[in-house]
Amino acid sequence: MIEGIAEKILPGGESTVRVAGSLMLVANAVPGDQLSVRPTVTRRGVMRAVIDEVLVAAPARITPACPVAAECGGCALQFLDATAHAELKSAWVRDAFSKLLEKDTQWIEAETVNIASRRRVRWVIGQDEQGRFAGFYQHASHQVVRHDKCMVLTSALTALHGILTPYLYEDVEAVQALALMDGVHVIVETKSADITQLENLPALLDGGQLLQWWWRHEGITRPLKKPIKQFHDSLPVGDRTIQLSVGPDDFVQGQQAGNCQLIRQIQQWSGSPRRIADLFCGIGNLSLPLAVATGASLFGAELNPASVRAASKNAKQLGVDAHFVQANLFEDFDMVPYIGVDLLILDPPRRGAKRICSAIHKLMPEKIMMLSCDPAAGARDGALLRQHGYHLKGLQALDLFAYAGHVEALSLWERGA
């Protein structure tokens, strides 16, 4: 055991702790803590350590409300006062984009979010002396932590957790759930094809929410209950809302209110585009509300074929002139439909959109809006856009996961001076 002082919380939630002139990364530390730590492992040349004792607590350190905060890997910021989260996450985004900011860049800080707001979850199955349970992995481990009530989940997901135990037989590996405006998708992941014990599944939660049960085995998701219930997300279009059909495997942002905030900002920054391209489009979460608001034609691409089908179906139901195709956007793809659009929307996964941003001179959109779940990757991609004559006109930090060491960055880029 050695002593050190916590200096800075990094994106992801680990803190740098200075020990005898060198730095270690430690979970659950708060800047200013004087700690006794124990080194555990070196990854990518950086030593990790765990806290054995808080010798002197920093002023911002709190006793977390979650009883398993020290073990559970789901929330990285439980020991930091919640009033400081938005400022911290805003700093992560601003620091990442600092070299790209200009005098006229509109900067919007993150807002404090509702704690019990996470609507998407994956529980892994563990076992202890009390039996099998649905919990979360311990930090940097495959040990499963039991919890009675996760404080960051919506009430519907909390209610679902309370009824799962009878269905967690030996072959069940995990349970996923997505709570939407009119029901909850539940996916039971199993090791084998034997699902005889997944019978008599409830159709409703105690709160009245509809349940649609699914079974996933060997990467294929199948319905456990028929007829299949269709569930929807409510998205803003100006002063009204529209509904998008969302399937069990479709991606949606983990917090409904934050997703609406994001969509409103896109509509505010977009102006009145007539042609929109949406790459990494998913089910059309970002682009379809904008197309409804402006009457624009829409061209989208996405790797997941189920998402492409869902986006096409949603566009048809909304009366949007849209064409969605399946494409691997990390490799060569047909760029012709997306050349010269008024607005290009990019919502890549964590690795970013380096290939597309490197080839932006072939597409030459008037405006680009990029949503980056890793601000460092977003800033790297933004540097490529600037090399091709685009300027950072707007930057917003978005906290879509209460207590997590995660932040989204929405950036607006315009061509020319």
Q: Is the pLDDT of residue 417 over 70?
A: no
pLDDT class of 158 with cuts at 50, 70, 90: very high
What is residue 415's three-state secondary structure?
Answer: strand
| CATH 3.40.50.150 domain residues, the chain | 85-114+253-415
Alpha helices per DSSP H over 234-374: 256-270, 287-294, 305-318, 354-358, 360-363
| Mean pLDDT taken over the chain | 95
Q: Is the pLDDT of residue 194 over 90?
A: no
Beta bridge partners of 46: 43
pLDDT class of 14 with cuts at 50, 70, 90: very high
Active site residue 373: yes
Q: Is the pLDDT of residue 1 over 80?
A: no
The CATH number that domain 2-61 falls under is 2.40.50.140
User: Is the domain covering 85-114+253-415 a CATH 3.40.50.150 domain?
Assistant: yes
Which of 196, 193, 197, 181 lies closest to 229, judged by CA? 181
* pLDDT for residue 21: 80
Give, as one character, the DSSP assignment of residue 165. Answer: G
Residues 128, 175: Cα–Cα separation, whole Å:
18
* pLDDT for residue 223: 96
| CATH 2.40.50.140 domain residues, the chain | 2-61
CATH class of 120-223: mainly beta
Q: In what order do the strands lie in the sheet with 343-346?
A: 106-108, 390-398, 408-415, 367-372, 343-346, 275-279, 297-302, 322-326
Summarised one tens digit per residue, pLDDT across range 270-307 is: 999 999 999 999 999 999 999 999 999 999 999 999 99
Answer yes or no: are the C-beta atoms of 369 and 344 closer than 8 Å.
yes
Which of 303, 363, 355 lies closest to 327, judged by CA? 303
Answer yes or no: are the C-beta atoms of 122 and 109 closer than 8 Å.
no
Q: What is the pTM of this model?
A: 0.95
* DSSP secondary structure of 400-411: -STTSS--EEEE
| Those residues with Cβ within 8 angstroms of residue 344's Cβ, 6 or more apart along the chain or in another chain | 276, 277, 278, 279, 338, 363, 365, 367, 368, 369
Pseudo-torsion of CA 236, 237, 242, 247, nearest 10°? -60
